[in-house]
Structure 1
Amino acid sequence: MSKFNSDKVMPRYFAIAVAFTLIGVAIIGKAGYIMTAEKQYWSEVAARLVRDSLSVKPTRGNILSCDGQLMASSIPEFRIFMDFRPGGQRIDTMWTDSVDLICEGLNRIFPAKSAKEFKRDLTKGFEKGARHWPVWKQRIDYGTYTEVKKLPVFRLDKNKGGFHTEEFNSRRRPFGSLASRTVGDMFGAKDTARCGLELSYDSILRGTDGITHRRKVLKNYMSVPVTPPVNGADIITTIDVTMQDIAERSLIDELRKVNGDMGVAILMEVQTGDVKAMVNMTRCADGEYREIMNNAISYRCEPGSVFKPASIMVALDDGVVDTSYVIHTGSGVMDMHGRFMKDHNWRRGGYQDINVARALEVSSNIGVSYVIDRFYYDHPEKYVEGLYRTGIADDLHIPLVGYAKPIIRMPKKNKRGQWLNWSKTALPWMSIGYETQVAPINTVAFYNAIANDGKMMRPRFVKKVVKNGETIMEFPPVVQKERICKPQTVRTLQTVLEHVVSQGLGKKAGSRLFRVAGKTGTAQVSKGAAGYHSGTVDYWLSFAGYFPADEPRYSCIVCIRKSGLPASGGGMSGLVFHHIAEGVMARHIKLSIDDARDPSAAMVPEVKSGNVVAADYVLRDLGVASNRDWGGTGSAGTPVWGRATTGPKAVDLARVNTPKGTVPDVRGMGASDAVYLLESQGLRVRLHGRGRVKRQSCEPGTTLRRGRECVLYLE
């Protein structure tokens, strides 16, 4: 029998349950009282004790060219907002008295929006009591921000007037779209790196965020720095701005001429592997060519005939043939295991009997494929192993996101001795650049190794990392392969590649001023399952080589993808190579200044507004003037500076010829000087083109209107 006495226990349980219920009701009641009757009191207590940890963004590092020119730099930009209840208090009277003046001032600064529209928009935020109402939706530069900050109410402390900002680091490229895919880009709204060197070296460029505590004491906020931000470091690239510009212009001109779909050009320094220029142009919907993808490192394709020197290098290095070995190409058509191999001139009777050297000079498909098939048919893996020795299949560890390493498959057999991934025709077609996948950067690295007497250098994009003028990290040249073949083999190929240009199919790539070596390539582009001949045939045209051939300084590859005929690697890509080579070599021509001096004439150069220090240096070097008064007018009646100087006075001298309240004349100036002078006068500047200012949209001498946009056209 149970000893539980319900008559005694149940009343106790009931009493406990009632007590807990009453306590719960009391707690809920007290909470409701605090949330309603005492809400204002506790809100004020909480506001006095607010303490936030805020992140302080560092300044992103710069990206510079090999000679120190800015290719990407950070400047502050702002988004502006209004808090209509700063410190929890409304600003009714102050706002009502000043709203008309504020909107008129905003209209002067932002003419695209009327004062009436500003008032309607801001009144809506005022009526809502918004704490973070946008005054202007786009980002503005520092000069515009200072103008806005001068307006009534906005000039007050943000805890009294309510005007506040969000600051961003905006990325600007002084040279516009030049090398844009290599330098990289940013997602502006997120301040995060998108591609190129910006993304690959993001951790170095970005720096480290700082932390500050923001604490409210009574009605004032106090910021207490905890950890200061560490600004990002600068990176010095290998890109040469002038060479990049030459390569871009040469490639785009030819793409427009031949109606090309895509083009790539890479210029590399032979001794170091430094990439001096890399161009990636794609035709957009509007017909213009822009850098959309970094095809130079990511577009793996069948390279075509520029691959043939690698095949012959393997055969020469293995000793199975020499350059005098004769191939009977017949009338230009040969049966290769059931498929017909054709030379480009098969309709004209072919080349008949030619040796190995001549086969490369005229880019004979039969000549190269016959040699490889004849001596490696039974052991194709030895041929592929030889290709691996040449370095053309190496992973170059390119420090850019998107790099695709080559795919050259190795023949494999199963246990029964049957080929798993190979066919009878694989070897002859692989030997002439098909059935492989190689990006242009790997091909130019291979040709660079030939120019460098067999030493393959890894392509280098960044030389060093600099901070506060001190080098904190260096990236020396890296040898990818000490030797890609025997010394005799590389010397033989150097001679043959020079003959390709001097007496073969690559004549248009040559120059009358210096010797050029290289190889043409014209390949049909596969369309996947559709094959090579569905619809209009696409072609991959290329020329790879180096110059000058006797003392190689630079290697270069130019590739063009186009649809339909005519299509010629030597006649199209080779012509671009020619323009790049002559443009680059022209920079190395040094003439004595005495040859250009006319002793019977005395000329005083005209000096226009701009960098006084630089002008003074040039004039002193020419022996014209130095640290003395310059007077009179130039050849067009333009006044010149009054006195050369340095330091703060140089800024004033840049404005000496501009009447107060009028638009300065910046024609003939460099971009940086022109932008500085116009923005210092309150104008907003937009650049179009590269070089010096040829024309300006705001006529010189007209009435100056702050906030007005002035477009500068550079040439």
Structure 2
Amino acid sequence: MAPGQKDILPRFTIILFVMALMAIAVIAKAGFIMFAERGYWEEVADRFVKENVVVHPNRGNIISSDGKLMASSLPEYKIYMDFLAGGKEKDSLLMAHLTEICEGLHQILPDRSAEAFRKHILQGRRKKSRNYLLYPKRISYIEYKQVKELPVFNLSKYKGGFHELAFNQRKKPFGSLAMRTLGDMYPDMAQGAKNGLELTYDSILRGTDGITHRQKVMNKYLNIVDKPAVDGYDIITTIDVGIQDIAEKALVDQLKNLNAVWGVAIVMDVATGDVKANVNMTRGGDGNYYEMKNLAVSNLMEPGSTFKTASIMVALEDKYITPDYEVDTQSGIVNMHGSWMRDWNWHRGGYGKIDVTRILEVSSNVGVSSIIDKFYRDNPQKFVDGLRRMSIDKPLNLGFVGEASPRILGPKERYFAKTTLPWMSIGYETQIPPIYILNFYNAIANNGVMVKPKFVKAIAKDGDIVEEYPTEVVNPKICSDTTLTQIRTILQKVVSEGLAKPAGSKQFNVSGKTGTAQISQGAAGYKSGGVKYMVSFCGYFPSEAPKYSCLVQIEIPHGPASGGLQAGSVFSRIAERVYAKHLYRDLAHAKDSTAILVPDIKNGDIKEAAYVLQALNVSNNGSSLKGEGPIWGKAQTSANYATFEKVKKSKSLIPNVRGMGAKDAVYLLESMGLKVHLTGVGRVTAQNMTPGSSFKKGQTITLTLNH
């Protein structure tokens, strides 16, 4: 071995040993970082190295037709503390202000005491947690801003340690009002909408995601926007918050009275098809009523007697009958192809021989079914074609999830027994969602023009209208003008003289039709498990110039059932309140022909009084009263004319100011040098100095005023 090799070997061994120690240290440190400090370094990575970070846009608002915010995305926050941020300086500051911080948190979030906050914060400090949840619940933006103003928390998150996690939440300022129409979002809004307008217009409301990345620039880390997020558009609905509230309260009150299973109330603008209210209430397990499902568009039900109007219109349009065509309903019960057809009052002897108008007024099953069976028995498809000609079964494609379409099937699509046609004519053997029934009656009110129900009227961005949705015509003419005039006259009499009187109003005329139907229990028929009923009323108001149409449908678990009383009374309450709120009459129509329209006029400055009357277009003789300054006199009025008479005034004698107002009396007397003391209010009825007597300047005159 060479002389120097003995020295190299130990050195080499030492170097290997040191390198092994270093390798072990590196591995140990890496393991420590990977496991013990994993959370910390993940936060650092998230904080400083972020590529292609998705930035979610703000979801658009849903706004009512009267400009009220019905749904909006508002931020909520979870608040955290990094107890290692800011080092010893922050820690000292935290302990110095701990009492103030805890008291402040208690004031902002009062469900937790200041002492509880103190214990919780000290626990996090002992753990030296870097992401310590300060409060278990999400807090609002306002609460977050208040918390952010507390000592230490008002520092940057790198110095003070306070930081937050933001969540976008969908809020409805009016609570459950129109909830099923508006729809719901998933708890994680990134997953999108569940139903309602939120889902139908999701692509418009959602907006477009943006992308950012984090980059160090000039020794600072900045969020660099690669693609900006585009906020969603707002949608302006046709819903009127006032009308929705009116309809909901009227319906829920009746549902509670009847212990009903569910109820629907829809209000529509006749000309435009704008749905002003859509109430869908179902009884919950606690006995209260909630918006659980959009029954107006999804509920397929046999419509009952509201369908009789369509049946009679088909026969009128085909010229088989006229409003005075008579039918012998006998004693209210007839054998119809082996099955008994009954009127509601058959046990009282029925109605006997009555005309078509009276048939609808009293909602005679026998009358309607006898007409349809007589004229369409040999060709039931012609009756079905007549219904389809009026577009009562045409799908409206409103865009809601779970939306149903009418099922009115003719002999070409289904088996037709001999009893099918007569029972179909009175609202059985068919299934129609509530909004289709309303849309049909709305067409009658709209001079035969059927328009598509509309829930959204416009799209807006930053307050500006981007797109408007026009009214869509489904059928420009559902029937001839003759049939339309006949059926409108009949529907008005149904309310004024028939079973639908509870739906009427003393303030204006109402037109419409009641409906009372037994609800089928499926394969078990109509009797199994007790009889359930659907009561309804569908109509429009005012009859002469219809502005709104409305449908009320209620399912009750037992009898007695009356569409006119139980549903019609709800319609009446809705109609009267909507009319009072939204429909205005010309004040000229409110004038009482026996009233005196010339106002009561006080004595005094008759020139001013004449000027006022001329502005009010009240005839008077004041046109001759000209000149500078006031002209004193008396006034007399008749039914439609005012007469003024000048009174001479002496500068040295007390004037007669009886009948004057305080202003004119004081002005006149003080201009003559007198001091005036007033008692009472109104016009002068007495004065303590006799008119025509002399006086001295500076004297006090007392005037007594009364109404």
Q: Please give the TM-score of this superposition, normalised by the length of structure 2.
A: 0.74
Aligned pair count?
568
Partner residue, 2:647: none
1:485 to 2:484 alignment: no
Deviations 1:88-127 (CA, angstroms, capped at 9, x unpaired): 9998777666656544443333222234433444455455
> Which amino acid is 1:511 matched to?
S
1:59 to 2:58 alignment: yes
Write the distance in 1 (CA, Å) between the matches of 2:85 and 2:385. Answer: 74
Once the two structures are TM-superposed, the CA of residue 219 in structure 1 deviates from its matched residue by 8.6
Change (3 A) 1:480 1:155: same
Partner residue, 2:462: 468
1:280 to 2:290 alignment: no
> Which amino acid is 2:285 matched to?
A
Change (3 A) 1:90 1:292: farther
Write the distance in 2 (CA, Å) between the matches of 1:266 and 1:544. Answer: 10
Partner residue, 1:698: none
Once the two structures are TM-superposed, the CA of residue 237 in structure 1 deviates from its matched residue by 1.3
> Which amino acid is 1:36 matched to?
A
Write the distance in 2 (CA, Å) between the matches of 1:212 and 1:571. Answer: 63
Once the two structures are TM-superposed, the CA of residue 39 in structure 1 deviates from its matched residue by 6.5
Once the two structures are TM-superposed, the CA of residue 597 in structure 1 deviates from its matched residue by 13
Change (3 A) 1:520 1:32: farther
* Candidates 536, 545, 554, aligned match of 1:551: 545
Matches within 5 A, 1:193-232: 193-215=193-215, 221-232=221-232
Matches within 5 A, 1:16-165: 35-37=27-29, 50-85=49-84, 102-126=101-125, 130-165=129-164
> Which amino acid is 2:211 matched to?
I
Once the two structures are TM-superposed, the CA of residue 434 in structure 1 deviates from its matched residue by 0.8
> Which amino acid is 2:168 matched to?
N
Once the two structures are TM-superposed, the CA of residue 190 in structure 1 deviates from its matched residue by 3.7
Partner residue, 2:305: 305
Matches within 5 A, 1:673-684: none
Once the two structures are TM-superposed, the CA of residue 133 in structure 1 deviates from its matched residue by 3.0
**Structural RMSD (CA):** 3.3
Once the two structures are TM-superposed, the CA of residue 291 in structure 1 deviates from its matched residue by 1.7
SS of match in other structure, 2:51: strand
Write the distance in 2 (CA, Å) between the matches of 1:157 and 1:515. Answer: 68
Change (3 A) 1:430 1:80: same
Tell me if structure 2 keeps the 8 A contact 1:51–1:216: no
Once the two structures are TM-superposed, the CA of residue 437 in structure 1 deviates from its matched residue by 1.1
Write the distance in 2 (CA, Å) between the matches of 1:170 and 1:157. Answer: 25
Once the two structures are TM-superposed, the CA of residue 347 in structure 1 deviates from its matched residue by 0.3
Tell me if structure 2 keeps the 8 A contact 1:331–1:351: yes
> Which amino acid is 1:480 matched to?
V
Write the distance in 1 (CA, Å) between the matches of 2:231 and 2:381. Answer: 53
Partner residue, 1:628: none
Write the distance in 2 (CA, Å) between the matches of 1:115 and 1:219. Answer: 40
Tell me if structure 2 keeps the 8 A contact 1:84–1:90: no
Deviations 1:556-607 (CA, angstroms, capped at 9, x unpaired): 1111111222211001111111112222222323465999999899xxxxxx
Q: Please give the TM-score of this superposition, normalised by the length of structure 1.
A: 0.73
Once the two structures are TM-superposed, the CA of residue 471 in structure 1 deviates from its matched residue by 1.6
- Give the share of equivalent positions with the same residue, in percent: 51
SS of match in other structure, 1:186: coil
Write the distance in 2 (CA, Å) between the matches of 1:345 and 1:38. Answer: 91
Write the distance in 2 (CA, Å) between the matches of 1:175 and 1:599. Answer: 48
Tell me if structure 1 keeps the 8 A contact 2:63–2:71: yes
* Candidates 578, 583, 588, aligned match of 1:588: 583
Once the two structures are TM-superposed, the CA of residue 266 in structure 1 deviates from its matched residue by 0.8
Deviations 1:54-78 (CA, angstroms, capped at 9, x unpaired): 2323222222221222222333322
Tell me if structure 2 keeps the 8 A contact 1:50–1:216: no
Write the distance in 2 (CA, Å) between the matches of 1:210 and 1:270. Answer: 43
> Which amino acid is 1:394 matched to?
K
1:563 to 2:557 alignment: yes
SS of match in other structure, 1:168: strand
Partner residue, 2:169: 170
Partner residue, 1:456: 450
SS of match in other structure, 2:572: helix
Write the distance in 2 (CA, Å) between the matches of 1:599 and 1:86. Answer: 81
> Which amino acid is 1:320 matched to?
Y
Tell me if structure 1 keeps the 8 A contact 2:343–2:350: yes
Tell me if structure 2 keeps the 8 A contact 1:87–1:219: no
Write the distance in 2 (CA, Å) between the matches of 1:512 and 1:580. Answer: 14
Deviations 1:509-561 (CA, angstroms, capped at 9, x unpaired): 12222221110101111122332222332110001111111111111111111
Tell me if structure 1 keeps the 8 A contact 2:306–2:514: yes
Once the two structures are TM-superposed, the CA of residue 37 in structure 1 deviates from its matched residue by 4.9
Tell me if structure 1 keeps the 8 A contact 2:78–2:137: yes
Write the distance in 1 (CA, Å) between the matches of 2:187 and 2:360. Answer: 50
Write the distance in 2 (CA, Å) between the matches of 1:174 and 1:323. Answer: 50
Tell me if structure 1 keeps the 8 A contact 2:180–2:293: yes
Write the distance in 2 (CA, Å) between the matches of 1:50 and 1:165. Answer: 19
Change (3 A) 1:249 1:598: farther
Select the structure of larger CA radius of gyration: 2
Matches within 5 A, 1:591-602: none
Change (3 A) 1:49 1:510: closer
Write the distance in 2 (CA, Å) between the matches of 1:65 and 1:138. Answer: 31
Write the distance in 1 (CA, Å) between the matches of 2:71 and 2:576. Answer: 28
Deviates more, 1:290-299 or 1:31-40: 31-40
Write the distance in 2 (CA, Å) between the matches of 1:50 and 1:74. Answer: 29
Deviations 1:464-485 (CA, angstroms, capped at 9, x unpaired): 1111232211100000111212
Deviations 1:684-714 (CA, angstroms, capped at 9, x unpaired): xxxxxxxxxxxxxxxxxxxxxxxxxxxxxxx
Segments of structure 2 that go 5 or more residues without pairing to the other structure are: 1-20, 592-596, 603-707
Deviations 1:331-387 (CA, angstroms, capped at 9, x unpaired): 111112221110101001112222223211211111111122222222222222221
Write the distance in 1 (CA, Å) between the matches of 2:598 and 2:529. Answer: 62
Write the distance in 2 (CA, Å) between the matches of 1:591 and 1:106. Answer: 58
Partner residue, 1:354: 354
Write the distance in 2 (CA, Å) between the matches of 1:53 and 1:116. Answer: 43
SS of match in other structure, 1:164: strand
Tell me if structure 1 keeps the 8 A contact 2:48–2:221: no
Once the two structures are TM-superposed, the CA of residue 263 in structure 1 deviates from its matched residue by 1.4
Partner residue, 1:392: 392
Once the two structures are TM-superposed, the CA of residue 162 in structure 1 deviates from its matched residue by 2.8
Write the distance in 2 (CA, Å) between the matches of 1:133 and 1:372. Answer: 76
Partner residue, 1:183: 182
